[in-house]
Structure 1
Amino acid sequence: MKTWLPLCTGLLLASTISPAAFAQTPTSDGYVLDKVVQVSRHGVRPPTASNEKLLTKVTERHWPVWLVPFGNLTGHGYTGAVEMGRYRGEVLRSAGLIPKGCPQANQLLVHASPLQRTKATAQALLDGMFPGCGFQPTYVSGNLDPLFQANQMPFAALDPEKARAQILQALGGSVEAAQARYAPYEEQLKEVACLPGADCPYGKEKWTLVQNAKGRFSIKGLSAGANMGEVFRLEYSQGLPLDKVAFGHARTAAEVSSLMVLTKAKYDFLNDIPYIASRGASELMNQISLELKQGTSLAGKADPSTPPDVPLMLLVAHDTNISYLRTMLGFGWKLGDYIENNIPPVGTLQFERYKEAKTGEYFLRIAFEAQSMDQIRRLAPLSGTEKPLKADFESAKDCRKTSVGLLCPLKEAMSKVDQNIDPTALTPYTFQ
């Protein structure tokens, strides 16, 4: 069986090291931040080339021109990610997890999905967290990393009948019934995206559940509306003039979110499916779990697939990855003007391990954090009362409300993290 080896174009290849690399001061209520694993989505990008082609075809209309190649991180997106990195660095320094200035490279593991937008976002987060330190993320060569693209690889292939059954259940029994329920939202998008009086093709296609050559399911007919809502949100977040955002039909963040109902439907029907999520993200969740257990009684025997024991592991991925992890955990959120369970640019799923100073017991905080749509649009500095939106997850019984958020006993919380890892959807993986 192949062992996957991420390659590095900079540094940040971590060796085994105790996370307690420098003195840490307990919070006022007695907790010390001991380890952090965070999984972040890439920043603002234009539509991908395939999405641009599809949307132009179904609306028979020219869409706004972006100044970077389709799917690449924009300069605005880079700047927004730098600010999120600066803010997270400030939080982690205040907690004593990372030092002031430049830490040693082996205190970090920063690894990105191999697409340009994720690699560039990882660099932006590093530039914000550690300005002037010259750190660079690692990533595999080629376009497929089993940590992030497991859903396109044979080792995590789906049983088509099992996947189809769960998708149909989420649809409410049939694709036809779901399309009928969502017809008003298709009509809304048609009015927004098609020229007045034009008889454009959008909304006329019958929804059809299909599986591609790599085994991934999609719903033909729904894809255009789902992508349309996401592109409108990206236009607003990028700071395009309001008469360009959704062709002038969305002048506030709330109005943008009202056009994303079909975007959420796509995730409800295709990503937030327990079986599909477990197959697609067990490899990623397993690496998170192995990292969080290191240095505790929960740690198993080390093997080549065990990641380096570092205070900070930063993984930069895609909304698909985070939606799978969210589903495996059973974690839901509603942040600000975003639609329920939305994963904005640079939205981050955080796993923070704390140690209680007086007892030595470990706790885990699981949270999701993201800049608001307007903060990204304005490139707002995250300081004072201008903070990111966040939601905590109650991952176990006997969780505690503390000054740092909701802390849950580590052993019970890790049972929640591990509960949906599918051992048949794992492959050997090494961060070297």
Structure 2
Amino acid sequence: MNQFEGMRRAFVCASWMMGGVLATTCGVSFAEVQPQHAQIARADESAPAGMQLDRAVIVMRHGVRAATDTRKMNASSAQPWPAFEVPDGELTPHGYRAIVALGRWEREYFVHQGLLDPGTCASAHDVFVWSSPASRTQATARAWLDGVLPRCGVEAGHAAENQDTLFHADETDADSADPHEAEQAQAAMLAAMGSPQAASRRYAADVAAMARVVGAPHACVEEKGASHCGLYAAPWGVKVVGNAAKLTGPVAVGAAMSETIRMQYADGWPLERIAFGHVRSSADVIGLMGLRSAKYAYTNHVPLIARRGGAPLLERVTRALNDDDRGETGEGDARLQVLVGHDTNIAQLRTLLNFDWKLGEYRENDAVPGGTLLFERFVRERDGAVFVRVSYLAQSLDQMRAITVLKGRNGPLKAVLRDADGRTLIPLDAFDAQVKTALKP
């Protein structure tokens, strides 16, 4: 039973045009509420009337990167995948520049809200940045600082790779984990599927679409036939490997193919090089993202998986919002704290917060490159009451591809969380209670 079982959810969305791009705000609550429009946020918007923004915490995914496992994708395709200009898994130069553009927008936003000083480096002591140990997240942290505090001498920190309990909590102690946890995770993932056969039927069209793009190894096709090769080489399922539960079947490599095609497009590649020439627009890219959606539906969007991996990060955010930082990573009393991680971190926090979104043409609950969970703490001036607003914001694919200057209504897409009473400004004690419930086994 997950922590929200028995509670009805209300899904609320509002759409508008932003710089020629369709943007949508959505909120999911813990009880049924009447549909109402979520707040539309812009770079030049003011704090809610009578409120002062006095602290913010950002949890963001790294920017556009190279493929993470080209060898594995090559083994399931008819032809080799073209290489990025950087090694597998690294942030690309184009991805760096796109994060700088996002950082510049965020600087404008926080200056307008009064959280940062208009002077370029005047707020350097108020900003703290910490990343996962991965080189792409470290590079993303530097790019973000280049956008927000250029040449101000602020540096981002990170833990050693084998000591990162914040962004990789479910991996750091894998060797000492209870072997039964893997079996519990396997059962939870299978329950999310319904059954491997149900997953196979649900995503049959997505597998077929990707198979048309990538083909299958010729030698295998000649020996076994196309229906037993490439993405069709193994059936859907979940298996225990060591102390972890892993997806098997088309999704195991197909999700990486989906994300690699998105990275190619966002990285500004010529269309004839993207997806072996099968893409003509961002809509074509989104059409090939089904297997990545499947991967997250059956892993980090499963409450048990999200709780095990995301609890330390959500607790860290909550402590910051409560002025209880404990100085674990040197953050002190920084008013703006930035934690740079991975799509897994965004997906796990999304699940724990029960926060659903639909941004523009992206698929539901997509954790896109550079996508950001923004936690803002507001103080009501008349009585000192404290409130939290949680948003998810991201550049559109075409904004990343063109490295668009983000300004005004041509800013990033944004969605805002609503609580059970339909509020986007949630009392801090109510937010803390929500987190406590989410983290309870």
Structure 1 residues without counterparts, runs of 5 or longer: 1-25, 400-405, 424-432
1:279 touches 1:422 (CA, 8 Å); kept in 2? no
CA-CA distance at 1:154 after TM superposition = 2.1
Count matched residues: 385
Instruction: Give the alignment partner of residue 259 of structure 2, picking from 223, 230, 234.
Output: 230
Task: Name the counterpart of 1:203.
Answer: 232
Give the aligned partner of residue 93 of structure 2.
75
Q: Is the counterpart of residue 188 in structure 1 residue 174 in structure 2? A: no
The within-5 A match list for 1:31-430 is 31-48=51-68, 51-100=69-118, 101-103=120-122, 105-142=124-161, 144-154=163-173, 157=177, 159-172=181-194, 174-194=195-215, 199=226, 201-294=230-323, 308-397=332-421, 399=423, 406-421=424-439
Superposition CA RMSD, Å:
2.4
Q: Given residue 151 of structure 2, which amino acid in structure 1 is its aligned partner?
A: G
1:398 deviates by: 6.1
TM-aligned CA deviation for residue 214 of structure 1: 4.8
Q: Deviations over 1:93-137 (max 9, x none)?
A: 111111122135542221000011000000000010011202110
Residue 59 of structure 1: SS of its match in structure 2?
Answer: coil
Change in CA separation of 1:254 and 1:303 when aligned onto 2, cut-off 3 Å? closer
Q: Within 2, Cα distance between the matches of 1:389 and 1:303? A: 33
Q: Does the CA-based 8 Å contact 1:396-1:412 persist in structure 2? A: no
> SS at 1:202's partner residue?
helix
Mapped partners of 1:163, 1:333: distance in 2 = 25
CA separation of 1:195 and 1:270: change in aligned 2, threshold 3 A: closer
Structure 1 residues 160 and 183: alpha-carbon distance in aligned structure 2, compared to 1, 3 A threshold? same
CA contact (8 A) 2:103 2:145 kept: yes
How far apart, CA to CA, are the structure 2 residues paired with 1:218 and 1:143?
24
3-state secondary structure, aligned to 1:110: strand
Equivalent pair of 2:66/2:90 in contact (CA under 8 Å): yes
Q: Secondary structure at the match of 1:125?
A: helix
Offset at residue 185 of structure 1 (A): 1.7
Change (3 A) 1:232 1:103: same
1:30 Cα deviation from its structure 2 partner: 1.5
Q: Offset of 1:152 from its aligned partner?
A: 0.5
- C-alpha contact (below 8 Å) 2:117/2:123 kept by paired residues: no
Give the C-alpha shift of residue 418 in structure 1: 2.9
In 2, Cα distance between the equivalents of 1:195 and 1:161?
Answer: 32
Structure-2 separation of matches of 1:71 and 1:165: 30
The CA deviation at 1:150 is 0.6
Q: Which runs of 5+ in 2 are unaligned?
A: 1-45
- Taking structure 2 as the reference length, the TM-score comes to 0.82
1:307-331: CA deviations, max 9, x gaps?
6332111000000011000000100
Q: Deviations over 1:62-89 (max 9, x none)?
A: 1122111110000000000001011101
8 Å contact kept, 1:396–1:416: no
TM-score by length of structure 1 reads 0.84
